[in-house]
């Protein structure tokens, strides 16, 4: 229980009904989860407005209703009604206070950008833990608290959940948290209520623009930049054309990183590495730190991710040796993840599940001049059919062989999805085979791998299930590969 007056301390508010002299058992923003004496916060959403459920929440036993506009409650209830200017914003501060401001007990790292957030969070976690720190993670794939892994529904959770996870992390002994920060999370004030020790900007491209997200690129840019009004130290990619616009109005100190630029931390002498069925990169770090680096993931973009992680971790006094060791072994599940099956050819798993991501992936792998570039993928059912044509066309143009298979068909017939992909490939001269069963398709790819090939399994990435007719069946490509190899 927490005193309402204590929770409201520092928040502009007006008590429009009832008394502030009461205790709060929990904070809830879904009326279906109301418990006795809780605080129900009315959140206006894109589809549903929480104010419409204020009366239901009061009848269910909520002791406090927080609103930003007028509501009517049943006469027989004694709920207190508190009015604030913005309930989204207020919830972040109320939640932080309810959980005892756990962010003050740890170092908090926030990473924003169109690409690279997920990979960089895992790299940072790997480097810091390699040096003895205990690190919690909040991201697109999962939330990690010690040995506990929680499936993530959003890149940046609601502010209440962020504070709840922070409290669990602090109680579990974490001294650091690294988290992905989405533009939507910033726009909806999910990351208010605390100050990031470090805010990082990786890059920005037109994305997440449309109904329910951002009205235009300028708003997207502005929302990304909000991170640099909520952190103590900002670290930004100097090579991105928009870095100055993103940091406009910043209230933090600023540092930059980049490749062969005037950045504070630089990667120079970049080389592509390929040996014994594996791909990687090497480069020299110059500027704020000076040492050679090798990484076990391919492409120039991987250099940026590694450089971002180095720029962050140098603030924690991590030695060059620990950084180099961690970067050489770190890999992110489903993000250009190598799976060793042969010294003769390379096999990778990646989450690329739209045309833009697939094009970027295949372009990166092309730089290694493979004997053949083989792309295995399917498309999800009950999603835009245009994605199937587009991905088929990209693979047909850029891969030497496409293996069309099933992804998450959901309620559609897998063959119908495959036929749409074939229509896209038909616009090119690309060669393909179709094998509906994904395990059989992967077995075919491995069995027909030729020396010098690079084979990429695209679309599933970190997912460990296949969704068919509303049921998620266990299916992890790493497990499938192991079973295939054991059965050979």
The CATH code of the domain that includes 208 is 3.40.1190.10
Domain check: are 234 and 140 in the same one? yes
Domain check: are 304 and 360 in the same one? no
Of 202, 295, 302, the C-alpha closest to 257 is: 202
What is the total count of domains within the chain? 3
Question: pLDDT by residue for the chain (488 residues), tens digit each?
Answer: 999 999 999 999 999 999 999 999 999 999 999 999 999 999 998 789 999 999 999 999 999 999 999 999 998 899 999 999 999 999 999 999 999 999 999 999 999 998 889 999 999 999 999 899 999 999 999 999 999 999 998 889 999 999 999 999 999 999 999 999 998 899 999 999 999 999 999 998 755 445 555 566 788 888 999 999 999 999 999 999 999 999 999 999 999 999 978 999 999 999 999 988 899 999 999 999 999 999 999 999 999 999 999 999 999 999 999 999 999 988 888 999 999 999 999 999 999 999 999 999 999 999 999 999 999 999 999 999 999 999 999 999 999 999 999 999 999 999 999 999 999 999 999 999 999 999 999 999 999 999 999 999 999 999 999 999 999 999 999 999 999 999 87
Q: What is the pLDDT of residue 361?
A: 96
Q: What is the pLDDT of residue 218?
A: 82
Domain check: are 468 and 432 in the same one? yes
Based on the number of CB atoms within 10 Å of its own CB, is 207 exposed (0-12), middle (13-18) or buried (19 or more)? Answer: middle
Q: What is the pLDDT of residue 297?
A: 92
Domain check: are 160 and 75 in the same one? no
The CATH code of the domain that includes 8 is 3.40.1390.10
Domain check: are 77 and 179 in the same one? no
Domain check: are 477 and 384 in the same one? yes
Domain check: are 152 and 270 in the same one? yes
Q: What is the pLDDT of residue 215?
A: 62
- pTM for the full predicted model: 0.90
Q: Tell me the CA end-to-end span of the chain in Å, nearest whole number.
A: 60
The CATH code of the domain that includes 344 is 3.90.190.20
Domain check: are 90 and 106 in the same one? no
Domain endpoint, select from 268, 300, 329: 329
Domain check: are 86 and 106 in the same one? no
Domain check: are 343 and 459 in the same one? yes
Domain endpoint, select from 329, 355, 386: 329
Domain check: are 483 and 446 in the same one? yes
Q: What is the pLDDT of residue 259?
A: 95
Domain range for 57 is 2-98
Q: What is the pLDDT of residue 450?
A: 97
Domain endpoint, select from 60, 81, 98: 98
Domain check: are 167 and 314 in the same one? yes
Of 259, 296, 324, 358, the C-alpha closest to 119 is: 296
């Amino acid at each position: 229980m927490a005193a309402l007056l204590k929770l409201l301390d520092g928040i502009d508010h007006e008590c429009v009904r009832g008394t502030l002299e009461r205790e709060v058992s929990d904070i809830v923003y879904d009326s279906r989860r109301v418990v006795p004496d809780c605080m129900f916060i009315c959140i206006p959403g894109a589809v549903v407005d929480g104010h419409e459920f204020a009366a239901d929440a009061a009848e269910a036993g909520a002791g406090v209703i927080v609103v930003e506009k007028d509501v009517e409650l049943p006469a027989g209830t004694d709920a207190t009604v508190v009015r604030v200017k913005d309930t989204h914003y207020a919830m972040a501060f109320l939640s932080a206070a309810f959980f005892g401001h756990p962010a003050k007990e740890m170092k908090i790292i926030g990473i924003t950008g169109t690409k690279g957030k997920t990979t960089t969070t895992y790299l940072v976690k790997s480097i810091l833990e390699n040096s003895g720190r205990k690190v919690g993670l909040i991201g697109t794939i999962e939330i990690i608290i010690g040995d506990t892994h929680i499936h993530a529904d959003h890149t940046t959770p609601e502010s209440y959940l962020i504070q709840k996870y922070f409290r669990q992390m602090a109680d579990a002994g974490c001294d650091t948290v690294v988290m992905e920060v989405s533009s939507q999370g910033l726009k909806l004030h999910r990351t208010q209520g605390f100050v990031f020790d470090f805010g990082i900007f990786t890059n920005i491209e037109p994305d997440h623009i449309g109904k329910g997200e951002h009205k235009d690129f300028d708003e997207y840019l502005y929302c990304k930049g909000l991170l640099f009004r909520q952190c103590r130290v900002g670290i930004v990619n100097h090579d991105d054309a928009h870095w100055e616009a993103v940091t406009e109005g910043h209230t933090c100190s600023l540092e930059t990183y980049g490749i062969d630029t005037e950045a504070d931390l630089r990667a120079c002498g970049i080389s592509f590495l390929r040996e014994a069925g594996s791909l990687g990169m090497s480069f020299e770090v110059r500027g704020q730190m000076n040492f050679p680096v090798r990484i076990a993931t391919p492409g120039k973009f991987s250099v940026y991710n590694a450089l971002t992680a180095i720029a962050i971790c140098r603030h924690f006094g991590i030695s060059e040796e620990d950084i180099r060791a961690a970067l050489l072994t770190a890999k992110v599940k489903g993000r250009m993840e190598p799976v060793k099956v042969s010294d003769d050819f390379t096999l990778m798993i990646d989450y690329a599940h739209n045309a833009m991501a697939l094009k970027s992936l295949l372009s990166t792998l092309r730089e290694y001049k493979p004997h053949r570039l083989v792309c295995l993928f399917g498309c999800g059912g009950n999603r835009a059919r245009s994605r199937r044509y587009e991905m088929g066309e990209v693979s047909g143009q850029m891969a030497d062989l496409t293996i069309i298979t099933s992804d998450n068909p959901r309620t559609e017939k897998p063959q119908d999805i495959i036929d749409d992909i074939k229509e896209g490939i038909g616009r090119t001269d690309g060669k393909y085979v179709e094998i509906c069963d994904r395990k059989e398709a992967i077995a075919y790819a491995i069995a027909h791998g030729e020396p010098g090939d690079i084979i990429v399994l695209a679309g599933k990435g970190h997912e460990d299930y296949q969704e068919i007719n509303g049921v998620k069946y266990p299916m992890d490509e790493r497990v499938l590969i192991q079973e295939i190899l054991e059965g050979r």
